[in-house]
Structure 1
Amino acid sequence: MACNENVVKNIANEVARECQSQNVAVDPDFVIYLIDLLLLNPKYGKLFTKTINRNNLQFFVGDCVDLLIRDSTSIKTLKMQFTIQTNYDKLQNLIDKHLDSIDNCLRPLVNEILDEEPNPDDEAQTKKLFRKISIFIILASGLGNPGVIITLKEGMAALESVFSWNDLKMFIALPRNEKLTQLNELMEIVSGVRIFNRDCKKGGEGIPDLPFDLVDAGKACLTALSNSLITVMQRVNTLTTAIEDTVVIQDETGNVLIDVRRNSGLTNDDYNEIFQLLAFNRQYEVFTRKLLCDVETMLQRGAHYVDRVKKVLEELHDTVKYKTAVPTVTVYPLFAKLWQTWRAMQNTMYLVSTANRLMSVLTSIQEQTKIPYNVLDIMLSGKEILSDQERMCGRISMEDRLSLGALKNYVAYDSFSTPNDRYVQATIVNSRTHSTQTDYSHLRSEIHCQTFENRDKSLQTMKSAGINTIPNKVFVWGLRGRIGDGQHAMNLGVEHNVEKKKEQTVSVCTWPCAGYNRDESTSTGSLSDEYVQFYKPDLVE
């Protein structure tokens, strides 16, 4: 297809300009998303198969602008899908992206700290570097704002308690990689010290009560999602009951049609609008259930992290209690452990806030949809609104459910139970895909979908160390220990042959002699004058 990424962006810019000229604000990223979806439709995809025609481009842009201006229910459904697709992912992936964004924001400050090599004797430059390290630790840990003087002083005091001026001079002399490692270790220890001081009521300026906030925000988000799910399920049950008896499937073709009741005053457009509303609310239900399940997982993790923080704080209090000096080997790992648990709580809090923000966005999109209650009341006249469970259980009675004859579409357990299935499964491996018959088959492209031909390359197992062939061995005779000519190469390799060669009779003994016949009647052991038959396989010359 001729529409690559740059062409799609240009089309999106033109669509956005057309929408702005009609006072309609659109998201450029959503326009690109919509264009990619529309190009999957053969109606539009065939327009840009070979070259881009200006008339086809103008026709496509016009249709895109009409869809965005009308802002129908299907477009709202796509907006909801686009919001979830671009802002939500697996929980661990969201955490990784969040931490990467923090690292990217702090990378200029980190590079400035690592590249700066002040004179150790210059006190002003050394203090400036020490101040930058304190600011980095406060920003990277998320424990307050370094712009507040009290928070900055507290961070510098906590850093000075674990990182003296002599350590700073040694830090300046370290290589870049070791500086970065020590900087991350300092961030963990100093952050743990600040959290411990907050628990001791001796500081903690700008540090929120994260355990309480996490549990409170998680419960509030869970309650809001549960109420939203109840509301959307009521709408889904109402819309499903309104159209469940209007869908007709043709036996010959399998096409799905809408059976409009006579004298009802309704049209196909009215039914299509209800179908779009049902699809929107079903999609809203799926996303709400997904967020609800993830928030429940976050609450469980949050409760676990809160217990771990309490245990680590108790262990720290027991370690430093009634002691004027504590070995750093004992207390520093506890400070790092406290910070790691606190960071896990911060990540969980970020996930809860992300779920809450997405719920607000989806709710705002849902509030823009309008349900035609006048049409819905006509469709629901004389019907009882049922839920999915009641609808599934109400079609078959208990007596029919217990009888095997109630299964109308009975499928055999063995897929080879009938000869036709056996023939299809036996020949499908040799089939090829030649073309696809669609409504736009007359607009065929030159691209064909075919199967891969068989390869004549040999395969090798993971255990094989090489190719199983006989190596080429050549011996140079007379190379050493012989004066004069006569050196020649002797091929010691055996010719590869699948069939095993048979033995052949040797009538004349040639050098090197395979053996001789010792005359047992003579005591001198002379050789016999008669030749003896020997047996040996063929020798490769």
Structure 2
Amino acid sequence: MPPTQAESVIKNIIREIVQECAAHGEIISETLIAFMVKAVVLDPSNGFNMDRTLVKSDVQKLVKLCVTRLLDSKNPSLDTIKMQVYFDLNYTRRDEFLEEHHRVLDSRIGSVSREITDNRACTKEELESLYRKIVSYVLLRSGLGSPTDIKIVREATAALHSVFPQAELGTFLTLSKKDKERQLKELAMIVTGIRLFNRDCGKGGEGIDDLPAILHEAVPATTQHIDSQLETAQNLAYCYTAILEKAARNPLMSSELKQYMLKEALYNVRQYEVFLHIILVTTTDLVRTFNLLTEYKLFLFSSSILGERVHTTDFRKLEWLFPETTANFDKLLIQYRGFCAYTFAATNGLLLPGNPAIGILKYKEKYYTFNTRDAAYSFAENPEIYIDLVREKAKKNVELIQLLELHQQFETLIPYSQMREVDKHYIKPITKSESSSQTDTHILPPTIVRSYEWNEWELRRKANLRQKVTHSVQTDLSHMRRENYSQVYLSKNSGTQSLREGSTGVPRPQIYLAGLRGKPSKVTHDVKVNLTRAVDET
């Protein structure tokens, strides 16, 4: 079935159940009805198959079962579910409450903040109006006094003027919008601090309630009321547990007693006790919490309990944690909210608180406590059997899912307040044990030379050369050895000469011309005479 179609079918079923309950004179919230629908579908005894589409007969059967359970005023299980739904819708943790408070406050004063940051005042009247708006913003953000009370406005104006005079508005207007918003928040905190200081000094604080005095009266009264309710719930739980234990040992008594009703009443009281503890933690101071933890640790280490603890030698393959061997022992996230898993599974739903001093079993990165050593031994032999029995029991009594914190196994029934904690990593134990080690004084032999001296003159003194004689010894191979010398002469100019001299002469050419002067005749005759000697004649 597509998700949209499934949501439509569920809405129609819820609407029909609302009409049926209204016809019987009961006005029930849709949140409770939705929780009951999932609880009825989850119960295997009702025969619903979550893997197939619901037909018309299945829807009619589902509506009938839900209406029957919702109109059963004598059913403790219904009261437990109502209590769980109411607590889930109304209880808010401190960090979530502060976050929601700041969100609502920002939405309320957002318009005033925008009027201030978007203002473009120029004239004197506009600047005065802007300054009055800043005073109103400071009062609205602090929540200490009404902006319409003239005395409170005058006091806030004087406090603001001491840190932010009106002459600084020009500089304020030149800032960016983000810087303006940041400065407005800083001014609101500073002015609030000044007013609180003046009130403490008795010089002002108009319209500011004496919150410490109010809390001094209200917190002890609230704590006392919660303590009384917690004591009543614990006494009822002890009585119900004692009756169920006695009925388990007496067959005649168990036949006359409606054990399932008594167990559902026990679940109701235990859930009420858990919610009271959650509220009490937020109201008690740290000193009292520290004292309780101190008493708890002393209780853990009492001699009577130490004799009942688990012997780790009996289970070689399982890991057991004890207070003296685990640093963060009291911070471990115990399964089933600290109740004994074996007793709950073996007795078909009896809730008995576990005793961590016996030993905490670590199995598949989860931690389990037990009320006796025998219960711990029985569970450790085959943990999966008892874990499955607890899961099947929770399907039949859906209020156990929140009481025993089984949300990860039934993700469809996770309360809104715990949605963020589904993927939360468990705190891992920091185990510690006694250990000792011993080393020899000197593992390696010493390499210190006692006769070493760094001073040359000390070495001379020890040598005592003045009273010593030099001796020399030669062997057969060394007695012919002597010192050798070599000399190198510098280079000088040198020349060479052949045995005889020889030369050659070339005939010089001698050529003459005759008749150059000419003759009386006009015709000139030149005569060339070559007188050069032959080579062989020279």
What is the TM-score of this pair, normalised by structure 2?
0.49
What is the TM-score of this pair, normalised by structure 1?
0.49
